[in-house]
Structure 1
Amino acid sequence: MKKAIAYFRVSTDRQGKSGLGLEAQHEAVHLFAQQQGYQVTAEFTEIESGKKNERPELIAALLLCKKQKATLIIAKLDRLGRNVAFIANLMESKVEFLAVDNPHANLLMVHLLAAFAEHERKQISTRTKEALQAAKRRGVQLGKHGREIESKKNAQAADQFAETMRPIFDELRVEGITSVRQISDELNRRAVKTFRNDGQQWHRTSVHRMLKRLSL
């Protein structure tokens, strides 16, 4: 059986401790490895910003890949960073790697994806700065108070979305679908959109939060 090294990354220490994001990556990588005939011999988890190129866990993973002649498997290509130079250096290490969300990506595609990701990151940064400046001109109070107001708005929107989901969760409960895993699988099977509606699937963590909001 072919050998593989799993590499996971979350961007904040809080996410790393809570497991948010890691669980989805872990499930995606191990399912993919099993389907493709890989044996995952080791796992490395990085808690780091995607902008930084200093990744001790990734370096350790690459070294072990060379030693075992294994393939590096990640859940999403953007988990390796949003920097063209970093992606190029990774590729120069001559370690084979696969991204679950894009397993057929060739070298040209990887460079293009990295370039687009870096461009998008810069665009987001620019739009954020422009939005903050526009808000400041309108007299919006920024800083901690502003973040608290925005946080309350997000919480209200999440509560409203939860209420729209209540009939679906009630229906699942009547059908005997009660465990968090069963619910997430069924919601994905039915292609029910998540709160963010950004193409992401339901996971046990998101289902658990929804059940908590609905007091179920």
Structure 2
Amino acid sequence: MIEGRFVSYLRVSTKRQGDSGLGLEAQRKAVNDFLSGGRWLLVTELVEVESGKRADRPKLTEALRLCRLHNATLVIAKLDRLSRDAHFLLGLQRAGVRFVAADMPEANEMVVGIMAVVAQAERKMISARTKAALAAAKERGVKLGGPTHHLPKQAGRAAQASAAVRAVRAQDRAADLAQDIAELRAGGATSLRKIAAGLDARGLSTARGSAWTAAAVSRILSRLDA
């Protein structure tokens, strides 16, 4: 039985297909058939008109943002609606979003297989990603924790890298919430408590899955203003 929250992502490659609905109805039916019979909530459906060769797809970016905010699973009709590019699928996995393909529910296992194939190349990228995380955190003025001079050299570097990654994730989380907070403010939520109540009402929780408080909202706003 299918349970949980889902965000549906449908994609066609041409504007003509998008205007006519050609292909969209078949995708929509596949998603609905997959979800049929379970206890689930469809947060929203997003439709993209874009070539699968491109990775910069705004609707998919929005879908991933909503999945993170609602702790939802991205559901697609066919695996190739995302991309045939293994690197792109790996990037989707890094985004921290669960996804499932209606035509291949075991797709998550296949992605793990893809990751194994590129593991050797991935190891070479670890150092570059760590340096990028440290640089990004430094540019944002993030303090990477307390002094590490008492730790062995390698342990100190690992602690800094871990702190940098956490800082970048927190900043990304704040960016995901920016649109909702702006809409709440435009709707009259002028205090931290009102914004917190508005986020709760939208079914959004903090990164730890708890209800919003004024203090938690204040931390998010501080990150957005940084």
What is the TM-score of this pair, normalised by structure 2? Answer: 0.47
